[in-house]
Structure 1
Amino acid sequence: MTRETAAPERKLPRRVTPQYLENAALHYLERFATSSANLRRVLMRKVDRSVQAHGTDREEGARWVDELIARYQRSGLLNDTAYAEMRAASLHRRGTSTRAIREKLASKGIGRDEADKALDTLDEEVDGDLNLTAALALARRRRLGPYRLPEKRAEHRDKDLAALGRAGFSYDIARRVVDAEDPDSLLDSGE
């Protein structure tokens, strides 16, 4: 067979052991901040691949994962509350609406109560309305509304409103941001 037609050899997944799971978890935590539920999902994918390839007992693998996560929670290596607060603040700075922040936290396994607490903490730290400040951050990042060249603003108004709407902001907030002459005055006035 020629190089182009030869199918690449599939690498056989490793057999899961408690030590392998711990190494994989630590390696993952070195690279990413994560929630307990998301780390469980990552590790269980490894267990499931081992079950398929080696016939590993899935229940035993799940028990190893649960013990590992419980140990990391006790030691403070995994802290869902701190993760939720950090992730909510990061998303807010990027211009993510509170609705989208809740959805992204939920996709990482953060419960509604923890997400609400994270947003409450963020609300205490941020001056003004969370959604308004996030919409302004998104507008600045994407050069929408008042951050667009003055001669182009009128012709792109509807597109700017739609972009903010797709990002999860209400029409009222999108309109206030897009129609603002000076974004700083919008925050100062507290309209």
Structure 2
Amino acid sequence: MLRRVLARRVQRRCRSREEDPAEHAGLIEETVARTQRAGLVDDARFAAARLRGLRRRGTSTRQAQARLAAKGIDAGTIAAALADEEEEATGTEDGAAETERKAAWAYARRRRLGPYRLTEARPLHRERDLAAMARAGFSYALAKNVIESEADADETSSDES
């Protein structure tokens, strides 16, 4: 991402000065390498921190992978961040499933889907809520479980874990 930002700035500056941006490619690579050696740019730490934030907001694994990739993080680093996340959640039987479940509940809460709707409106919006969960990248089984549950079911199952 640093490389893209620097390239954009160089192009903008070169346009105003009518220079060739390719002349500065070596300088961009040198700057990126220097910041990595100094520890100022660390894709693994960035991916882990960004993943934690995305999960708190209720982002599914699929969507988190796509968002991290859009930020320029390579697939290996994303896989490592997801593995670290799963390892942190190993207090449960299946850490990845538990993390995904918590993210689904956070998404439903944030978007006021399923159990967070008014009780009389829930049946009318069931299909719409399931579709929203599917578009967010959650499996049908998990989305159905969340949408058809009661709002306090999330807190109860979290306390049991």
- Shorter-chain TM-score bucket reads 0.7 to 0.9
Match of 1:66, SS state, is helix
Q: 2:8 aligns with which of 45, 48, 53?
A: 45
> What aligned pairs does 1:25-36 form with structure 2 within 5 A after superposition?
none
Structure 2 gap ranges (5+): none
When the two chains are superposed, the root-mean-square deviation of aligned CA atoms in Å is 1.8
Paired residue total: 153
Kept in 2, the 8 Å contact 1:43–1:65? The answer is yes
Q: In structure 1, what is the equivalent of residue 116 of structure 2? A: 147
Q: Distance in 2 between matches of 1:160 and 1:116?
A: 29
Q: Residues of 2 paired with 1:154 and 1:139: CA distance?
A: 15
Percent identity over the alignment is: 46
How far did residue 120 of structure 1 move? Answer: 1.3
1: distance between equivalents of 2:31 and 2:19? 18
Q: Point out the structure with the larger helix share.
A: 2
- Identify which of structures 1 and 2 has the higher relative contact order when contacts are C-alpha pairs closer than 8 Å and 6+ apart: 2
What's the TM-score, normalizing by structure 2?
0.86
Per-residue deviation, residues 112-162 of structure 1 (Å, max 9, x unmatched): 110011111122234552221111000111111122222222221111111
Residues 176-185 or 129-138, more deviating:
176-185
Unaligned ranges ≥5, structure 1: 1-37
Distance 2:159 2:140 in 1: 20
- Match of residue 27, structure 2, among 64, 72, 87: 64
CA deviation after TM superposition for structure 1 residue 58, in Å = 2.1
Q: Which has the larger radius of gyration?
A: 1
Query: Taking structure 1 as reference, are residues 189 and 163 closer, same or farther at Cα in structure 2, changes over 3 Å only?
Result: farther
SS of the residue corresponding to residue 78 of structure 1 reads coil
Alignment partner of 1:78 out of 41, 44, 53: 41
TM-score (norm 1): 0.73
